A and B are shown apart, each in its own frame.
Chain A
């Protein structure tokens, strides 16, 4: 199974020297940028329309995406939703487009590689602590200590391991799902090339959406855990 995979990135002269996940991430990011810039311009032009157009144009597509994401963020984070809209939206679009590009032949999804997924999960991890410290000051470290101060010896290792397990699990979950799907699709192509890989590709599509959803939901849960105030 170790043959050299073909990807569109090998045809672009500047990108063929880079490792495959970097070059594919660059291509996907450029695609996202083009969609976002075109949609932003269209949305800005007609600010007075209350009734959306009936067809699927760039404007309605971008409107749907933004509405879904902001509805999700405000549902989960409550009143402080719009602060986190940027990071959650960026992560969601990046991961979603990368996962979906695995279904298109010729693209190797950047999330196929542990580096990309751990980069996303380490970003979330560092941001959790930055948000917590910005919100609470140095008293943010009090949640590591536990309810009573003499239980600190017991609680600190447990909390530390729990905290360190979060980026590990986030990154591994995304990596394992996307790589596993890619491998299974490849194996089914080897076995029965006729109609069965279609079913597996539907599964791959479904998993792409679900994994993005789970990733950003867990990130929002960690954010709100970091900035939450304890109620006695």
Chain B
């Protein structure tokens, strides 16, 4: 139990050290215009590609769920719950890309 505790403490120390490095990288506020153009492009295209891929994946999931309901209309409640969970899982990948895009957008 003590070993686990010391391992967890070491993990916490490493996390804090890396956060210190991340704080130091926030100094460049006066960006020149080409970097700003790149940032704007990246944040727009990034979320666009993520939405495309996410829509494809969710479309497949909903399509097979609807087909299952069509075959067996009595099981629609049992099919709906895992479908919602699956949709939330797929959407979370799009959300990660949205978070990166927002972080870039706020650096403009």
Contacts and interface: CB of A to CB of B under 8 A. Distances in A.
B95 A172 contact: yes
Contacts of A172: 92, 95-96, 99
A213 B92 CA distance: 14
Interface string A124-151: 0010010001000010000000000000
Contacts of A180: 95, 98
16 contacts: A133-B1, A138-B3, A172-B96, A172-B99, A173-B88, A173-B95, A173-B96, A176-B92, A177-B91, A179-B102, A180-B95, A210-B88, A211-B88, A213-B85, A214-B89, A217-B85
A42 B74 CA distance: 38
B4 interface: yes
Nearest to A179: B102
Interface of B: 1, 3-4, 8, 84-85, 88-89, 91-92, 95-96, 98-99, 102
A210 B4 contact: no
A175 interface: yes
A138 B1 CA distance: 7
Given A172-B96, A176-B99, A214 B85 contact: yes
A129 B88 contact: no
Interface in A167-219: 169, 172-173, 175-177, 179-180, 183, 210-211, 213-214, 217
Contacts of A213: 84-85, 88
B1 A214 contact: no
- 6 closest A-B pairs (Cβ-Cβ)? A176-B95, A173-B92, A214-B88, A176-B99, A176-B98, A180-B98
B4 A175 contact: no
Contacts of B1: 133
Contacts of B89: 214
Nearest to A133: B4
Interface string A93-121: 00000000000000000000000000000
